[in-house]
Structure 1
Amino acid sequence: MKTVDSNTPGNAPGAGRAADGRPEPDLDELRAAGIDVDSSSRRRSEYSYDASNYRVPPLAVVFPRTAEDVAVVARFAHTRSLPLTSRGGGTSMAGNAIGTGLVLDFSRHMHGIRGLDRRQNSIVAEAGVVITALQDHVERATAGALTFAPDPSSKSRATIGGAVGNDACGNHSVRYGRTSDHVLELQLVTAEGYRLTAGPRGVAATDPQDGAAVAAALGITAALSRLAGEYLAPFRLDLGTIPRQVSGYHLAELLPENHFNVARALVGSEGTCVIVISATLRLVPKPARALLLCLGYPDVVEAARDVPDILGFNPAAIEGIDDAIVKTMQYRRGADSVRGLPAGNAFLYVDLDGEDADDVAAQADALLAALRRNGRIRDAKVVPDPGERASLWRVREDGAGLAARLYSGEGNSGGGNSGGESWPGWEDSAVAVDRLADYLSDFRDLLQAYALQGVLYGHFGAGCMHVRITFDLRSDEGRGVFDRFVRAAAELVVRHGGSLSGEHGDGRARSALLPVMYSPVIMESFRVFKAIWDPANLLNPGSVVEPAPITADLALAGIPERQWRTSFELAPAATAPEGLDPFVHAVQGCIGVGRCRSSSGGVMCPSFRATSDEKDSTRGRARVLQDMVRSSPTVAQGWKSEDVREALDLCLSCKACATDCPVGVDMATYKSEFFDHFYTGRFRPRSHYALGWLPRWLKLTGRIAPLVNAVMAGPAGRLLAQAAGLTTHRAFPKFAGGTDWQRGITGQHRTADPAVKGSRTPPADVVLCVDSFTRGFRPEVAGAAQRVLASAGRTAECTADACCGLTWISTGQLGTARKLLARAAATLDDGSDRPIIVLEPSCAAALKKDLPDLVRTDQARRVARRVRSFAAAVSELAADGWRPVWPGGAAPQAVTVQTHCHEYSVFGERSQQAALRAVGITDIREATGCCGVAGNFGFETEHYEISMKVAEQALLPALAATPPTTPVLTDGFSCLMQVAKLEPNRNPYHLAQLLDPEPTVQSSQQMR
């Protein structure tokens, strides 16, 4: 077994020893018991991080399937004095989900839900259940009558175990409080391996026949009773003073007036006392009617001053965001990604609900009247549209990621915006609501005193504020400022009667600061409570009690200064700290919020959704890359790292992460860059030559298409596919002749011909770029597109001479890709600003995004600015007043559309929907997700199975719900091939074919 590397350079453990110096145990004993244990260097890199500032490499990662598995692991660890850390979604911002020993990942297998009790309004959920999955289960089972209330912003990937560990709250905590308010019982395993159940009256053995567990339960209950009696007065005076007092242990729950509620006392203990296996949870009624009111203010302080008055109207939520976060969302995902905002520099979302819609509306009117009398509000908007509400909540839920690297064009509440890096560390303080405005005002002064900047957002209705701050965690000087600032901030929040943590817990980030908030007596009670449960200090050691300094184990410390030569001009480079390598800055963009681990919403990350393995998430890949650039012993080979290659293997290069990731991590680009270096001087996979060189092969097949099609349709075709590393489970498309694309072009077109360019003939209105995929496999689309443009009064200059190099980019052959893109730029840069309309979305995206990033010339940037996808061009035509001439006189009643991932990422997630709505189609079913083929990925033998699992996420259900007579749009050739595999009798369309005023002109190939 390889040794676990230390976070401190020059302090690596010796052979056969873990990071803390203990001898490494033989993990084969666990494997022999049927427990899934992974101690590979790649896996340890993935789990060295959570969403905090810290990095702690574990010895190994365990993926338990049952409660008994956990008990076995606990006993194994106890007998060897081995630390144990519980982990759910790995989204802890305080460093609660990383540790030196064994990390228990509950999210992989332990997601059972059972025991829905309508009489008691309760349910039992295992620790690995994702919160949204539980909410969906409950709402389906109760026909929308009940739900699980806590809804933290990370609810689409955070687990019940994590919510219990941190006492998570969420956007609607004004109404529903914290997770502890909804916990009835906890089923747990102790550090010694006993299975117990904690409830409102004490602790009992989960199995009454287990004598040792019964004795342990009796002893723990007695010790907790003595603790509560000894510290009765301090618990009453110092704990539970504000609703969001999450820091420390919730020992006030042990008081007689709280019925000695051991279960709730354990909520928020951050995995330091017990290992939570499952929880019995209280469910709440779901209101029948809800209305979102969005309020605009000059700044967050003025917004906070109105919160006490808003609370008088019994809202379900009062959430706040800064305009800088909104601007970053719009920059990252397009101007229409945030809709429904009023005027202002800071905003409050006020959620009102009830059983009667008229009553809720009247409540909103009364609230607005009261706020206008206060005179602080700048503007307000009632948001009834579900799409607008969803866009607003998404920008709030992505606040942590968006604030990490803000759009550099706008200011923020910290007094300007560097556009650089922002980090957690003091992101979770809370005060009483009536002191919130004064606290925020003083906090902004504190930021200014330390020359730091930060964007404030969060749970205004509960007095809990989130902020990411421009700490410099890379230098000794910067870490010193970090240390001094957070200590001053702790003193500030305590002066305002508040809590260091209002939701995220203390962890490695704040535990050392607890003596600022609590008296020595309370701190001693915490130590006693921890020792009752975990006398050997094996469970998540270093959190809450006996913590390390807050500057220990920082992930950005000790990274060697090295230049990583790249072909791409990486987008974050412009905002990288001075002297920091752009590639290092880019891959360190992942801050661990884990949106890539969501099972619904957006497109990212299709491979994780197929495997549920951290390795196959954008975050998992980024963490391995981050270990690579720090020259960690686990990933020491740099560009030749097999760990990184393995982590990137199932990346579909869909580019969705570049849009869906709140920080804009562009894993497709990093994969291409890495593969370019990794395979230099090595033989590549055979598919890289077969599909990576596809445009070259198309020049040959275009001359002998009938012969090639005949060969590929027979037994020889299977042999050729196998020899090329391609799956035989997917039929190859028919190859078109080299000039077939020209047959459907009418006499109104102009060709890209030097003679034409030099003539006096007026130039065409647009350039129609016929890409390799269209030319080689869908030639009929070119004529359809030209006829659509002609129907809109646009003449088109058609060219098939510009190759975007996409297949070389996706396989990491960047030298060739750059040459082809440079030629394309020279071909298309004609001195005009005419739109360049590209029919294949992935090729359009390559010319729009990859061309300027790889070629890096003014010519490349000029051409990129002109590029449009066909859908984007249709929206522009419609905006100018054009409407299509529909065959039969009417638009299709409904359309199902598979938006290509690259179009989604580069041209906007609503590009296809916007085009269809612009031409009068409103009944649109969108398969929101990757089709699974993704260029070469779905054709490769080793990836075929995953590609089909990806298709099952969105495309297959959408097709199943689409009647045979309803058109299915697949502008992307990859999407077309997946539909052909899933439903061979389906006849998908390109948008140009759907809008074609003369559909009978299309070739028989499309209609076959």
Structure 2
Amino acid sequence: MTSNEAEATAMPDPDVDELEAELRGRVDGEVRFDNGTRAAYSTDGSNFRQVPIAVVVPRTVDAGVATVAVCHEHRVPVVSRGGGTSLAGQGTNHAVMIDWVKYCNRLLDVDPEQRTCVVEPGIVLDDLNRELGRYDLRFGPEPATHPNCTLGGMIGNNSCGATAQRTGKVVDNVLRLEVLLSDGTRFWCGPTDDAEYAEIERHGDRRAAVYRSLRHLRDEYADEIRDRYPDIPRRVSGYNLDSLLAEHGFDIAGLLVGSESTLVTILRAELNLVPVLPERTLVVLGFDSIAAAADAVPGLLPYEPIALEGLDHRLIHDERIKHLNDASRRQMPDGDAFLMVQFGGQSKSEVDDSAKRMLSGLGRTAEDPDVTAVGDPSLEDDLWAVRESGLGATAHVPGEPDTWEGWEDSAVDPSDLGDYLRDLQRLYDKFGYSDEAAPSLYGHFGQGCVHTRIPFRLNDTDGLRTYRRFMEEASDLVARYGGSFSGEHGDGQSRGELLPKMFGERIMTAFAELKAMFDPENLMNPGKVVAPARLDEHLRLGASWSPHLDARTAFEYPDDGSFLRAANRCVGVGLCRAPQPKADDVMCPSYRATREELDSTRGRARLLFEMLQGHRDGTITDGWRSKAVKGALDLCLSCKGCASDCPVNVDMATYKAEFLHHHYHHRLRPRAHYALGWLPVVADAVARSRSARLLNHLTGIEAVRRVGTALAGVENREVPQFATQTLQEWWSGRAPQGTGERGSVLLWPDTFTNHFDPQIGQAAVAVLEDAGYRVELPQKPVCCGLTWTSTGQLDVARRVLHRSVGVLGPVLRAGWPVVGLEPSCTAMLRSDAPRLLPEVGDVRRLADSTVGLAELLQERTDGWSPPAAKTDHALVQVHCHQHADTGWEADRTLLQRAGVEARSVGGCCGLAGNFGFEKGHFDVSRACAEDRLLPALRGADDSTLILADGFSCRTQIHELDETGHQPVHLAELLGQALQHRKRVDQIGGNP
């Protein structure tokens, strides 16, 4: 059946109201038909977009079974979804989508002796391996998306990853599956010997009929399967009919692995596990070209590496432009292409000997400039990050055409890899894809699998014609090599219609018969693999995509050119959904608190894209006034974690501010926007009226505070205390001190330091003067506009910024450093201000001149030694904006010089400026703090110093930390150490 024939027989849309009522009445779970949810799930990590009918989040596996039952009764299609990172379009469909991740994510059983476990489909791979770590076991295949991909999704796609060099594909590691047919038939399956087959046959039920049909299918097509299926390590395309062969034990579970939710719904899985290898070593080899690197692969395989990856200079180039893995890239050896060869074993000597044997066989040594040998696990992880960043690094490179998936994981025999890469490069040249930016080539070279992203033009007719011709010729090329169109990501819609080129018509007939056996009504993820939609159909962009939303913006988007392109920046890799991100990462605190797709960076990006109204079946039809988009953005903390942690640097804080600016244009805002956004004006009025003591007294009275917060539209939380003397007032009565031998600096009196914590500014002045600077403060009020920006009052923010740079004009033109103490304000001046006022030269000067205290003292103040601190260890809550803007390496190094070993907590404190004070946000704010901050504080002893430069972080700790720790700013730590040193000097009689 062709795609057009399938469309002709497609089912009419269901009675949505009746379907919704049935699902809500019979399913123990969250049933969602709203446009916001449907928009968020309308695409996966691919080029395709299909709006689901609804999304169901079952609380139990049995609730998932009930969902399928209701859909079958209404003849409604169903598709299961794991991490939503599929690159071939199999994770998107006009169907009821079942999202298993939130609740059905348990490790049910472990048998350490047999090295097996049983899991639910929504468990994330890294979570599973973390739990298995206590048994020194792990699940072998590990895709690059291991922080957030699920076992159900991996089984659906037959995933692999770099570790498949040692452990094989998922199909090689699944023992049994519990599956559900669309008609409600439910059973466990796996390898089936004659005795078990006879027992199943004896029951004469639907399962027996399926097994009987599968035997007939196997017997009829066995010779063709053996003849047409590529005998290569990475054949992922097509159904696993080879698992039915006698030599593979008539393995029904193996057959169903990689079936992309088109045959059954997977309910549970019994997995084979492998021992953790306690020791490993990594050797990186440099080559003149990526084809030359591929030529070397067959000679390396006899040394039995556990991973063998390749990458070219283009990937390194893209990471350099995007400042990804800067330190790691500097460890790479000489060369224009690289092989990363990893050995693992039980002892260090074992793995080192393996690496030495390989190098000796190549005639190289560890000291050669084109060799990097690493035995330190942490350094190895850093180098692996260079390879694992491939998808994010090659997407949306500033100044270059966008690249897309589609032909991103073809595979050939490793012995043919070098020649295949040369032919593929010639194909790129033929179609003009090498003209502006040659596609990067990288992947699992030890198994002949190649990843790439190509600058397809997917939004105009000529570009789509070229895309189709390329895909057809590329598939012909792989077929000539006896390879697989997919070596990892599956067929879905990208390659479904090309499969006859690889398998021939007879095997395609077998595929259709198999589909009919399991899913005769075509209710399981229709339009994929069998009777597939065309590869240029259902595109997220496409020739008809025509966004007409007024996208004139308050911010400039220099890396994207427009908000339209920025809203399409997300590639769906889903790192914002990682349950356990890297130690210091921030992204995405709201998702980690709620486990909701709509509360992830990716979910919000999808809604913003849908808001652009580029599709005839648009889900978001009210543009900037959209309540659905506003709802999705409501729990965004504007932490900016995604701006640095997202592989493609989606900056949701900026997008949220932009949206709120348009959403409330000429409309009344929530009271909290006025109360919190106009805080600098309120604080200045308090200082001028000398009413700080009175206000502090009143807000300390519970009844008064409750009334006041209600009137302001904010949460009833502790209200920060105003200082009775501002930093600027203190400064105006103080004579300048210090030698000024290093020149002058301007200390930025941000609202929080100036009006709430002036002692921090006072300490900073003392430290800067001790370091040899002449310190100045503005005499007039200045503000970065942060509070207006975070609440989307961008016109006011622009005016405030314009006025502030007017005050500072002479200082900025003189080139003085501007020292920021509040990380959020410092980041605002450096990154947001130039995009709000790109036409004002002094704003650019201000951005270029602004530095943090540690940056100035550590990186620009040679010859000065920080005073020794009174404590030798500290726990640091790094402000999210500092994490996103500059990181805290300068702080860490400066603290080490002061005698303090500092450890970062990681994650977001949860207050995030105005977020934690806004009505309805307290529970999420606390949940974010409970994620990492509060547990870390509970685990810290009384002698541990708590450092938190951010006003929000200190406020959150002060209110929520029951252990009584009092957080201090870096300036306070250094100031106290300086005072101590001066007292010691005085006692010793020194001047």
| Aligned mate of 1:251, from 200, 224, 241 | 241
Deviates more, 1:731-740 or 1:428-437: 731-740
Compared with structure 1, are the counterparts of its residues 718 and 485 closer, same or farther at alpha carbon in structure 2 (3 Å cutoff)?
same
SS in 1 for 2:931: coil
1:866 is aligned, of 849, 854, 871, to 849
Distance in 1, matches of 2:519 and 2:956, equals 53
Q: Secondary structure at the match of 1:278?
A: strand
Alignment of 1:908-947 (within 5 A): 908=887, 910-917=889-896, 919-921=898-900, 923-947=901-925
Moved more, 83-92 or 866-875: 866-875
SS of equivalent to 1:607:
helix
Aligned pair 1:272/2:252, yes or no?
no
**Residue 179 of structure 2 is aligned with which of 184, 188, 205?**
188
Q: Using a 3 Å threshold, how does the CA distance of structure 1 residues 971 and 376 change in structure 2: closer, same or farther?
A: closer
Cα 1:824–1:350 change in 2 (3 A) is: farther
896, 920, 928: which is aligned to 1:950? 928
Cα distance in 1, alignment partners of residues 194 and 877 from structure 2: 53
Cα distance in 1 for partners of 2:59, 2:53 equals 20
Q: Which residue identity lines up with residue 959 of structure 1 in the other structure?
A: L
Q: 1:826 to 1:745 in 2, by over 3 A?
A: closer
| Pairing of 1:727-766 with structure 2 (within 5 A) | 727-728=715-716, 730-740=717-727, 743=730, 749=736, 764-766=743-745
Deviations 1:736-757 (Å, cap 9, x if unpaired)? 1353455489967489xxxxxx
Give the share of equivalent positions with the same residue, in percent.
Answer: 40
Cα distance in 1 for residues equivalent to 2:596 and 2:204:
37
**Contact 1:588–1:626 (CA<8 Å) still a contact in 2?**
yes
Structure 1 pair 257–904 and aligned structure 2 pair: CA distance change class (3 A)? same
Q: Tell me if 1:97 matches 2:85.
A: no
Partner Cα distance (1:204, 1:73) in 2: 34
Choose 524-533 or 182-191, whichever is displaced more.
Answer: 524-533
Measured against aligned partners, the alpha-carbon deviations of 1:120-171 in whole angstroms (never above 9, x if no partner) come to: 110001100001111001113x1xx211111101111110010000100011
Is 1:664 the counterpart of 2:654? The answer is no
| Residue 481 of structure 2: aligned partner | 496
2:371 to 380, 401, 404: 380
Distance 2:99 2:286 in 1: 42
Paired residue for 1:848? 830
* Local SS of the residue matching 1:95: coil
Equivalent in the alignment of 1:475: 460
- Structure 1 residue 162 corresponds to structure 2 residue 153: yes
Counterparts of 1:471 and 1:203 in 2: how far apart (Å)?
51
Structure 1 residue 320: Cα displacement: 2.3
Aligned to 1:285: 275
Letter of the 1:719 counterpart = V
Partner of 1:51: 45
1:296 CA displacement: 2.7
Q: Work out the CA distance in 2 between the residues paired with 1:841 and 1:324.
A: 34
Say if 1:19 and 1:904 are closer, same or farther in 2 by CA, change over 3 A.
farther
Contact 1:227–1:525 (CA under 8 A) maintained in structure 2: yes
Q: Which moved more, 1:319-328 or 1:475-484?
A: 319-328
State how far apart, in whole Å, the 2-side matches of 1:931 and 1:583 are: 29
C-alpha displacement at 1:240, in angstroms? 4.8
CA drift of 1:377 comes to 8.7
Distance 1:687 1:501 in 2: 52
Q: State yes or no: 1:695 paired with 2:680.
A: yes
Q: Is the 8 A contact 1:59 1:101 kept in 2?
A: yes
Structure 1 gaps of 5+ residues are 1-7, 409-418, 575-581, 752-760, 1003-1008
- Letter of the 1:962 partner, please give it: A
- CA positional deviation for 1:734: 1.1
Task: Indicate the larger mover: 94-103 or 339-348.
Answer: 339-348
**Counterpart residue type for residue 970 of structure 1:** A
Deviates more, 1:33-42 or 1:829-838: 829-838
Residues 376-422 of structure 1, C-alpha deviation per residue, up to 9 Å, x if partnerless?
Answer: 996121223444333322232231122111244xxxxxxxxxx2211
Q: How far is the alpha carbon of 1:339 from its aligned partner?
A: 5.1
Letter in 2 for 1:54: F
- 1:989/1:877 Cα in 2 relative to 1: closer, same or farther (>3 Å)? farther
Query: Which of 576, 599, 604 is residue 587 of structure 2 equivalent to?
Result: 604
Deviates more, 1:496-505 or 1:23-32: 23-32
Is 1:725 matched with 2:708?
Answer: no
Quote how far apart the aligned CAs of 1:450 are: 0.5
CA-to-aligned-CA distance 1:593-643 (integer Å, 9 cap, x gap): 111111122211100000000010011011111111025542111111111
- Report the secondary structure of 1:621's partner residue: helix
Secondary structure, counterpart of 1:220 in structure 2:
helix
- The worse-fitting range, judged by mean Cα deviation, of 700-709 and 848-857 is 700-709
Task: Flag the 1:119–1:214 CA change in 2: closer, same or farther, 3 A.
Answer: farther
How far did residue 584 of structure 1 move? 0.8
Partner of 1:556: 541
Q: CA deviation at 1:832?
A: 2.7
| 1:21-420 paired onto structure 2 within 5 Å | 21-24=13-16, 25-35=18-28, 36-140=30-134, 142=135, 145-201=136-192, 215-333=205-323, 335-336=326-327, 338=329, 340-372=331-363, 379-408=370-399, 419-420=400-401
- Paired with 1:881 and 1:48, the residues of 2 have a C-alpha distance of 57
**Residue in 1 that maps onto 2:698:** 711
Moved more, 290-299 or 366-375: 366-375
CA contact (8 A) 2:731 2:777 kept: no
Amino acid at match of 2:458: L
State the 1:197 CA deviation. Answer: 0.9
Task: Tell whether the 8 Å contact from 1:294 to 1:381 is kept in structure 2 after alignment.
Answer: yes
Between the aligned partners of 1:493 and 1:374, the Cα distance in structure 2 is 36
* Range that drifts further, 732-741 or 334-343: 334-343
Unaligned runs of 5+ in 2: 982-991
Structure 1 residues 374 and 944, CA, compared in 2 at 3 Å: closer, same or farther?
closer
- Deviation string 1:696-727 (CA, Å, 9 cap, x unpaired) is 01101223211111111113222111211222
CA displacement at 1:858 relative to structure 2: 2.6
What whole-Å deviation, never above 9, does each CA across 1:497-548 have from its counterpart, x for those lacking one?
2100001000010000001111111111111111111111110111111011
Asked if 1:821 is matched to 2:801, the reply is yes
1:674: Cα distance to partner? 0.4
Distance 2:606 2:807 in 1: 40
Q: 1:974 to 1:355 in 2, by over 3 A?
A: same
String of CA shifts for 1:575-600, please: whole Å, max 9, x gaps: xxxxxxx1110000011111111112
Matches of 1:679 and 1:505 in 2, distance apart? 44
Q: For the residues of structure 2 that align with 1:441 and 1:625, how far apart are their CA atoms?
A: 40
Q: Tell me how far apart the structure 2 counterparts of residues 43 and 996 of structure 1 sit (CA, whole Å).
A: 51
The corresponding residue for 1:592 is 572
- 1:757 corresponds in structure 2 to none
- Distance in 1 between residues matched to 2:345 and 2:488, nearest whole Å: 27
Given that 2:345 and 2:351 are in contact with CA atoms closer than 8 Å, whether structure 1 keeps it comes out as: yes
Q: Which residue of 1 aligns with 2:619?
A: 634
Q: TM-score under structure 1 normalisation?
A: 0.90
Q: Which residue of 2 aligns with 1:896?
A: 875
Mapped pair 1:986 → 2:978: no
Equivalents in 2 of 1:596, 1:746: separation in Å? Answer: 49
2:947 aligned residue: 969
- Residue range with higher mean Cα deviation, 780-789 or 466-475: 780-789
- Residue 696 and residue 834 in structure 1: after superposition, are their counterparts in 2 closer, same or farther (change >3 A)? same
Cα distance in 1, alignment partners of residues 337 and 959 from structure 2: 49
Give the paired residue count.
951
In structure 2, relative to structure 1, the CA distance for the partners of 1:673 and 1:968 (3 Å cut) is same
1:770 and 1:242 map into 2 onto residues whose CA distance is 65
1:955 maps to amino acid: L
Q: CA deviation at 1:101?
A: 1.6
Letter in 2 for 1:819: R
Secondary structure in structure 2 of the residue aligned to 1:518: helix
Cα distance, 1:687 vs. partner? Answer: 1.0
> Is the 1:296–1:342 Cα contact (8 Å) retained in structure 2?
yes
Relative to 1, partners in 2 of residues 1:169 and 1:986: Cα closer, same or farther, differing over 3 Å?
A: same
Which secondary structure state, in structure 2, belongs to the residue aligned with residue 252 of structure 1?
A: helix
Shift of residue 810 of structure 1?
0.2
Shift of 1:777: 1.1
Q: Which residue of 2 aligns with 1:520?
A: 505
Partners of 1:570 and 1:173 in 2: CA distance: 40
In the aligned structure 2, how far is the partner of 1:824 from the partner of 1:627?
37
